[in-house]
Structure 1
């Protein structure tokens, strides 16, 4: 039986308050001591790891096991004593304050710890500001933060933030909302209203006309990014219901009411494909958090030796492979970090350094083709196929196409960047990380999941869809605390909503009858053409669109059209055109803004703060790379797809 504080007299209540404060303060101090011990221990580990990385030695494990473990603060008995005293203080607090409820005591003490952290953080910040004011310019002003009350500040703010137009008669200032994004919004909204009202004639049917207005409105906002892309995607189901563009599927072809359209469109947004996308995020997060991506990439890169050509090819292969599993957003970031020790040792303005940077970006884009979960456009294509390709079929097409594209781009970069033939590349030093049980567990679950995805068709009667298999890594990694709730929050949820909005728009275009009308309009120009000629003509359109807009948005707009064009052929090949469309969407990389890898590459700087690349690098090398990879899809990819049927 545990004794608890039960007295409620006036004197007892005062003593209880005093004890509560004293115990809480003692627990906070004890927690700070534990944190100080752990922080110093982690700091020593980081320092030793950095030392091993720079010198190429392996002293960390030996020092931690033989020397550091004998130091008093880090003895096992000391750690146990700290934990024992911590538990004793929580128990005492529970007995005195909350009637012996240990869980409630832990929550109350934890809330006080959070308050203390916030207060100390604010206090440290105030002290830094005060120290800066006392040591900065005369008068105690920090010139980096202008005083809003200072003379002329408001005029400078207007100049910096308010749109203006200089004329011979003076400067005309516009309202702040009338910026570039505001102007695009006005144009898109005006065009939207004109199309709905029929002032601009399009289609006779109300559903087709409204859906056309919705499609053009969303396309303008997606292409210009006048607002975040995922926000535009969130508007799609709202406008689909308000405009009532959905028709019934019972053969009567009637216009659904708002409640019926709501149920239908939401049921079409969260599909097994979305679950597959989240499962891909989970695998990518586990590989990144356990640093398996760094371990494997470093070991592979060291196999290239010191020859520039082999280093370039191996780096492109690593970027492409990483994009298959950890997305083409994280892959270039990882590769740029790995090659930084190499580029820092190259001469300023080195052609090879520039070549290496752009090669990673181009290879990361190509990696978006390689696996079904490497990019959202692949999942959009799978969702549009009937029946969908299994993973083995996808790999049978995508891996040869991606490999051939990488080799062609690698060969072309030799002409785009001519470096010194006597150049020797310093090897990348290993990070010293070793495979642990956690690494093997993550690798085993990942390979098991991918294996099930590859043979899902054989077990379809049991699992139903690949989206169900995607639950396995989520349960395995989050259930074992390899991934935390914060990791779940850090998923690219904006991409999920973009894919969901794209699915909703595709179903609306199909259900409204707009896709039938568009198909009728293009049947004439395509009639009499062979399948390859249709693929070439449509592929050029996809290549141009994906160069100027997001690859995912290009797939959202063009995959439904590719499906309908394929169905209209005498010898139906909808899956072939859909697959080719998805692959070509990843080849749009001719501009610095064509995909995240390009945007990440052009932001890379050398040790002096100078950018490695500029727009001309992408025009001279990205555009030819786009053409080469698109041609690969239209030739090699076409042949493989015809063979596979």
Structure 2
């Protein structure tokens, strides 16, 4: 959680204006940064463009702002401390008076039902007064519950205002004195009480009503005031800790953003000597907390301090939940609205249902619509009337038709054709989540009995054998390879190794726009190779934030930079076998699987040439160098720790083993076995935790597993062989190169509109079969070129995760998106065509040289 959010979550609502203004100080930092790097030429030509803040000495400007915050905090703390400590002193005096009054009572005659030795029950305010027959209450009983039991809700309408309750015990005694005769009458008139109650009532009759009610009132008041003061002291302690952390973090932010060294000096000279942040101040708070715990123990728990401390902490937790529930709810509501806005934007880009009524309200209830029928009115879920629902119904109807209408000669192939079309349409339209569709594959494959024996005469498998057959295809060494890639990506990201490497490279790029652009694009490509093309653009966009903040809102360089990173991340998805799911699917369909060395030999030149062509395209169309002043990106100053060295060594060793797995097949067997090494090394040592494991993209893993099971079902049924034979007849007479061009163009078009992974799931098994049936069989060549084309489809905002992330980037000042759909169409489509030409020319030649 960001500290700006954390301080709002944990601040005392009534004191919110007295905490450090962390968000305002961050804004000041960004204003100073922008003013410092503002173009002097622009300021000379346009007086209105001159900095609004005098930045001759930014340290002085920022110090003044910090001094004002420090003075505000110190002044408020001293007043609040004086007030609360005064209340604690009054509480101690009243506790002594209460103890003296209670000691004056003849407790031997008031012994009510306690333990077998006649001692009153601990933990009850009535323990000393023989009211032991009351029903037991838990120690977490809220103050409002106590009020309700005692019938004093009118006098104690707000138990939390403990600071204003000093000196009220005498008034409360009068209130209890007035009510005492009625209480006495009620007790004496009862004839249905058990013997213990009658003994308590008899003991009660032995003493004056005035003395008893006075003790009860004093005990109740002391308990409530003790709880309130304990909460106030804890809030005072939290006030110090939050503000101290705030000064440290905002100074660190200033040093990092403006490349200064203010933090250590200011903390030492200003913050540490300030009264609230002195060690003796925290020591005084702890002493007062202990005094309050002791007072609560004397009054409530018969001197048991650990029990008193436990009960007070429970009351503190209850107070926090009650007092700040509104603040938390508002903050969480803001976060949810922001997420909903992003999801709404994504749905709009995907052409999904944009009707907010279909999403239900904030309580999670599904929106309904009233439907008139001849037999009455009924309310139905509104999603039943959406275009998504009708699309789903149409796909199901087509599925049923394909099951009934005979197209194929064999029933298992007929059923498999219906399954293939059904799943492909669900994936293409995304009417239900992709991974849910993937889970349907093994279910339908077993129910429809599409699997056959591998050996002739290829009898259809019964459901029991088909289940084992299909599920065996869902967990293969390729899935382990994918998990190993996720593990390495998580470690490199969690410990900022990828960010440190990226900022180091970008810091060498200088300030020339064209150089900065190409450097960022190659960094995005390299990161996509190792931490996936889903995470790499997010990381790259966070790194360039200082650069974007100092550019005008309508800067062409901002657009070129964001779009360049997105397109390069797409291209980088083809650079290594673990860069994207489509590469994993390609490896599954290649026999034998190529080594990492061969993959790099083909993919890296194709990716590098494609990125250079896209860079030239962006320079020509955006002309980002005009009037652009670039703030150089500074490398992270943190030194490599032992953990980071360990992660780097394990990563390098794993990648080297992946590259030479074919030479070590007699030892490791498959790359999936090597993938276990980083998983054991990182999770076994605690570098990654089970939360990191749970945060893996399991939807992608399920999607890949579903695709593997679909490929197994289509191949086993014989449908894939039949389709491949038909396609081969259509391309008969065409050379291998002609087939490559046809399939590359087809996949490019399809993958532009649907997910790259889905396109790979649908087409790569077919491409492999067609390649194997050619006169010159080159199935691996066609599969790998098709996988490269899946990553090259980037003509729309929905063509891959990097594009969707890029179009959601907004200017922090204006709130406007940097990119529009037109930017992707006008640059993304030509970029896809350039990559297509590279694949069918340079890529084809490299594939032949590599012997694929």
Instruction: Tell me which interval the TM-score lies in, with the shorter structure as reference length.
Output: 0.7 to 0.9
- CA, structure 1 residues 311+15, in 2 after alignment: closer, same or farther (shift >3 Å)? same
Find the aligned partners of 2:118 and 2:512 in 1 and give their Cα distance: 83
1:218 maps to 2:423:
yes
Considering only aligned residues, what root-mean-square deviation do their CA atoms show, in Å?
4.0
Match for residue 46 of structure 1 among 244, 249, 253? 249
CA positional deviation for 1:112: 10
* Map of 2:402 onto structure 1: 195
Give the secondary structure class of the aligned counterpart of 2:440: helix
Q: Retained in 2: the 8 A contact 1:352–1:417? A: yes
CA distance in 1, matches of 2:466, 2:689: 37
Task: Identify the match of residue 683 of structure 2 among 465, 470, 478.
Answer: 478
Residue deviations 1:380-422 (CA, integer Å, cap 9, x gap): 1111111101111111111111111101111111222123445
Other-structure match for 1:512: 717
Q: Aligned pair 1:612/2:818, yes or no?
A: yes
Q: 1:573 and 1:490, CA in 2 relative to 1: closer, same or farther beyond 3 A?
A: same
Alignment of 1:66-215 (within 5 A): 122=325, 124-125=327-328, 176-198=383-405, 201-215=406-420
Q: Deviations over 1:213-249 (max 9, x none)?
A: 1111111111111111111111111111111100011
1:633 aligns with 839
Q: Please say if residues 807 and 819 of structure 2, whose CA atoms lie closer than 8 Å, have aligned partners that are also in contact.
A: yes
Query: Structure 1, residues 610-635: CA drift from partner, whole Å, max 9, x if none?
Result: 22211211111100100111111111
User: Which deviations, in whole Å up to 9, do the C-alpha atoms of 1:242-275 show, x marking residues without a partner?
Assistant: 1110001132301111111111111110111111
Task: Describe the SS at the equivalent of 1:586.
Answer: helix
Tell me the equivalent position of 2:66: none
Q: Partner of 1:147 in structure 2? A: none
Give the Å deviation of 1:433: 3.0
Question: Is 1:15 paired with 2:122?
Answer: yes
| 1:129-174 alpha-carbon deviations (Å, 9 max, x no partner) | 9xxxxxxxxxxxxxxxxxxxxxxxxxx969997899xxxxxxxx99
Deviation string, structure 1 residues 113-135 (Cα, Å, up to 9, x no partner)? 99887666536547999xxxxxx
Residues 58 and 432 of structure 1 are in contact (CA less than 8 Å); yes or no, is this contact kept in structure 2?
no
For 1:349 and 1:163, locate their aligned partners in 2 and report how far apart those are by CA, in whole Å: 44
Partner-residue secondary structure (3-state), 2:624: coil
Instruction: Give the alignment of 1:373-388 within 5 angstroms.
Output: 373-388=578-593
Which residue of the partner structure matches residue 266 of structure 1? 471
Secondary structure of the 2:468 match is helix
* Pairing 1:383-422 to 2, within 5 Å after superposition: 383-421=588-626
Deviating more after overlay: 545-554 vs 287-296: 287-296
Distance (whole Å) between structure 1 residues aligned to residue 778 and residue 238 of structure 2? 63
The C-alpha deviation readout for 1:416-436, integer Å capped at 9, x for no partner, is 212344533221234433322
Cα 1:298/1:125, change in 2 over 3 Å: closer
The answer to whether the 8 Å contact 2:725/2:773 transfers is no
Is the deviation greater in 553-562 or in 248-257?
248-257
8 A contact 2:271–2:277 mirrored in 1: no
Alignment of 1:332-411 (within 5 A): 332-411=537-616
Say if 2:795 is the partner of 1:590.
yes
Quickly say closer, same or farther: Cα 1:74–1:506, change in 2 above 3 A: farther
Contact 1:294 1:334 in 2 (8 A): yes
Q: Please list every run of 5 or more consecutive structure 1 residues that lacks an aligned counterpart in the other structure.
A: 1-6, 90-107, 130-155, 165-172
Which of 455, 479, 484 matches 1:279?
484
Residues of 1 paired with 2:708 and 2:653: CA distance? 29
Using the alignment, how far apart are the partners of 1:463 and 1:67 within structure 2? 61
5 Å matches for 1:492-531?
Answer: 492-531=697-736
Corresponding residue number in structure 2 for 1:140: none
Moved more, 238-247 or 610-619: 610-619
Whole-angstrom distance in 2 between the partners of 1:110 and 1:369 = 56
Q: Which moved more, 1:113-122 or 1:626-635?
A: 113-122
Q: Residues 501-530 of structure 1, C-alpha deviation per residue, up to 9 Å, x if partnerless?
A: 110111011001110110111111211211
Contact 1:416 1:620 in 2 (8 A): no
- Give the SS at the match of 1:316: helix
CA separation in 2, counterparts of 1:115 and 1:284?
A: 41
State the partner residue of 2:535: 330
Q: Is the 8 A contact 1:324 1:368 kept in 2?
A: yes
Helix, strand or coil: the match of 1:15? coil
Alpha-carbon shift at residue 471 of structure 1 (Å): 1.8
Is the alpha carbon distance of 1:239 and 1:158 closer, same or farther for their aligned partners in structure 2, counting shifts above 3 Å? Answer: closer
SS at match of 2:122: helix
Contact 2:115 2:121 in 1 (8 A): no
Whether contact under 8 Å (1:268, 1:507) holds in the other structure is yes
Structure 1 residues 288 and 17: alpha-carbon distance in aligned structure 2, compared to 1, 3 A threshold: farther
How many Å separate the matches in 2 of 1:73 and 1:424? 42
Write the distance in 2 (CA, Å) between the matches of 1:116 and 1:246: 62
Over 3 Å counting, the alpha-carbon distance change for 1:10 and 1:243 in structure 2 is farther
Matched position secondary structure for 2:544: helix
| Cα distance change of structure 1 residues 315 and 278 upon mapping to structure 2, 3 Å threshold | same
Q: Which runs of 4+ in 1 moved over 6 A?
A: 10-13, 16-20, 25-38, 61-75, 108-117, 126-129, 158-164
Q: Partner of 2:459 in structure 1?
A: 254
Equivalence for 1:96: none
| Map of 1:230 onto structure 2 | 435
Distance 1:205 1:268 in 2: 23
| 1:57 counterpart (245, 260, 279) | 260
Pair 1:479–1:636, CA change in 2 (3 A): same
* TM-score normalised by the chain length of structure 2: 0.62
| Structure with larger RCO (C-alpha < 8 A, sep 6+) | 1
Partner Cα separation in structure 1 for residue 491 and residue 266 of structure 2: 29
Following superposition, the deviation at residue 301 of structure 1 comes to 1.0
Instruction: Check the 8 A contact 2:551/2:629 in 1, yes or no.
Output: no
- Specify the structure having the higher radius of gyration (Cα): 2
1:433 to 633, 638, 646: 638
Deviation at 1:327, TM superposition (A): 1.2
Q: Give the Cα separation in 2 of the matches to 1:359 and 1:636.
A: 22
Per mean C-alpha deviation after superposition, the further-off stretch among 108-117 and 577-586 is: 108-117
Of the structure 1 ranges 60-69 and 241-250, higher mean CA displacement relative to structure 2 is found in: 60-69
Change (3 A) 1:218 1:434: same
